[in-house]
Amino acid sequence: MGKGHDIGDALEMLRRLAPPPNGWRRLPAWEMIEGGGRWPHALRALVETYDAARLDVPDPDDDVVSLVGVSLRSPVDEDEDRALVSSAPWDAFDATWTLRGVSRPTDGPGTLSDLAASVVGRTLISWASVDGVGSTTTGALYVSADEGARDTVVVLSRLRPEYWLLELSPADVVLRTLLGATDCPWLDGRAREPEPGLIRVSPRYFDDEDPTVDEPEPSRWTWTRSRANDEPLDEPATLPLLALGASAGEAASARADATIDDLRRLAPPPSGPRTDGAWSAVEAQLGGTVPDELRALIDEYGRGTFATDDPDAHAGVHVELCDPAEILRWPGDELLEFADRSDLPGNDVRVIRWASLSPNPGDDELWLWQTADSSGYARRNDDRAAFRVAGTPSGLIVAAIGSSGVFSHLFGAFDASTYPVRFAPGDGA
C-alpha cells in the first residue's frame, strides 16, 4: 500500500473504532485449512482479530436496525470452508467482465489497465458479506486466491458483468464500508464521521469461559484469550483521501445497439399511426426532452405487446410497450419510491416508465432517466434495483426479447425462426 497507509495502520484504526470483545476467540490453524495458504497476510490478520464477527452501524432511531453491516466469514467453519474459495462468482454472466473503477490511496501505484491485468485471478476468496448497501452488488467482498495476485479487494456487480477494485487492505475496506467512504458507488451510502462507539461488534464465537477443556485434537483452530484495545481516540481519525481510476466504460454485454429496422424485421409494427403524439405532458413529467429515437419507436408501434404466439415455445417472451397515456399513469416519484437507485446519477433524477418486461406490472421495467445535465436509459429489475443500460430503445427491446447481454436469462434462449415474435396492439402495457 501507499506511504502512511499500511496494513497495521488500518487494522489498528478499526480496532480502536470497533474494539473486538474481551475473552476467548478462535485462531485459525492455517496449515490445516483447505486453501489456507492462499489467504493473504492482511486478511489473515483481520480474521485472527475478529473471527466471524458482524460489524455494523445501528440506526440511531432504532438500534435493532442496521444502516450498514459487514459480516466476516471464517475459514474454520466446516460448513463454509469449501464455499469460501471458488471461481463460481465469475460465472454469473455469460460475458467478459469489465473493470468499472478503482479506489486507492492518492499515492497508490498502478494504472487502471495495469490493475485489470495483474490483480484479479480466476479463483476468489469470499471473506465477508455486506448488507444495507442496496442491490447493486452481489453483497460479497472477495480477494484473489491465485498465486502472484495482489492483495486487492474485489467487488462484483450483480446487475451486469462489471467489477470494482479496492486497493486497500481488508480491514480498511471494512472500516470504509461502515463509514460510507470507499469511493466505490456500489458500496457507499451516507458518509459517517468516524468516532468511538459508532460501530457495533457482534461476535459469533467469543466466549468468556475457557473453551479449551473439551477441544478435540487435531483442530482446525486453537483458542486464544485476548483483550480489546479499548483506549478512546483523542480526536476523530482522519482517513486518507482516495483517487479513483478512470471508468472502463459500459460492459460490452450491456449494450443493445440494434436499430428500429432490426426490430421491424424481428416483429413488424402494425399499420397506421399508433399514438396521439401527446408528448408535451410526458416531457413535463420527465422535466426534459424525450429522445427522438424513443418517440419514433412508440409512435410507430404504439401501446402493445411483443410475444411468441406459439404455446410450445420454450421462451415465454413478454415485452410490453407503453404509449404516452400509459406513461403518464405512472408518476416518476412513485416509480422511484421503493427502488434502489444507487446506480442512477444524482438525487434529482427523474424517470418515466416506457416498457415492461413482465406480464406483472412493476416486476421488470425499462425507464428513461433525466437529470439537469444528462439523460439515459435504465432497467428496474424484479429486485427493485434500477441500473443504467446502454443502447437504443429499439436495441434494448431486441436484446430483451432475445435474453441477451444485460437481459441474459430473462426469457431463455429460443429460435425466432421457429417461434416468431409478433407485436400485438392493445391495452396490456
Q: For the beta carbon of residue 24, count every other beta carbon within 10 angstroms.
A: 18
Residue, of 145 and 422, whose pLDDT is higher: 422
Residue at 415 is within a domain: yes
Residues 370 and 282 in one domain: yes
Residue, of 344 and 227, whose pLDDT is higher: 344
pLDDT for residue 209 is more than 70: no
Residues 288 and 367 in one domain: yes
Residues 202 and 262 in one domain: no
pLDDT digits (tens, 9 = 90+) for 5-42: 344 478 888 888 888 877 777 777 777 776 555 788 88
Contact 294, 393 (CB under 8 A): yes
Residues 301 and 180 in one domain: no
CA distance 46 to 73: 11
pLDDT band at 216 (very low <50, low <70, confident <90, very high): low
Residues 331 and 275 in one domain: yes
Residue at 383 is within a domain: yes
Contact 259, 392 (CB under 8 A): yes
pLDDT for residue 171 is more than 80: yes
CA distance 153 to 151: 7
Q: How many domains does the chain have?
A: 2
Residue at 241 is within a domain: no
CA distance 267 to 9: 61
Residues 381 and 417 in one domain: yes
- Return the minimum-mean-pLDDT range out of 65-69, 356-360, 368-372, 411-415: 411-415
Give me the pLDDT at residue 271, please: 82
Residue whose C-alpha is closest to residue 340's, from 67, 155, 137, 141: 137
Residues 119 and 257 in one domain: no
Per cent of the chain over pLDDT 70 is: 70
pLDDT digits (tens, 9 = 90+) for 62-108: 778 888 999 998 887 755 555 677 778 888 777 788 888 888 775 45
pLDDT, average across residues 310-326: 76
Residue at 239 is within a domain: no
Residue, of 399 and 367, whose pLDDT is higher: 367
pLDDT for residue 2 is more than 50: no
Residue at 300 is within a domain: yes
Residue whose C-alpha is closest to residue 128's, from 167, 154, 146, 159: 154
CA distance 123 to 86: 5
pLDDT, average across residues 313-340: 84
Highest mean pLDDT among 133-147, 228-242, 331-345: 331-345
pLDDT for residue 232 is more than 70: no
Domain-terminating residue out of 186, 208, 226: 226
pLDDT for residue 246 is more than 50: no
Residue at 240 is within a domain: no
Residues 138 and 17 in one domain: yes
Q: Which three cell numbers stand for residue 69?
A: 453491516
Residues 209 and 88 in one domain: yes
Question: Where in the sequence is the domain holding 60, given as residue range(s)?
Answer: 7-226
Which strand (E) or helix (H) includes residue 164? strand 162-166
Domain-terminating residue out of 226, 261, 281: 226
Give me the pLDDT at residue 3, please: 32
pLDDT, average across residues 398-415: 72
Residues 287 and 200 in one domain: no
Residues 211 and 262 in one domain: no
pLDDT for residue 349 is more than 50: yes
- The dihedral through the CA atoms of 341, 240, 179, 150 has a sign that is positive
Number of residues written out for the chain: 429
Residue, of 2 and 237, whose pLDDT is higher: 237
Average pLDDT, the chain: 76
pLDDT band at 114 (very low <50, low <70, confident <90, very high): low
Residue at 1 is within a domain: no
Give me the pLDDT at residue 429, please: 43
pLDDT, average across residues 279-289: 92
Residues 163 and 266 in one domain: no
pLDDT for residue 378 is more than 60: yes
Residue at 234 is within a domain: no
pLDDT for residue 236 is more than 50: no
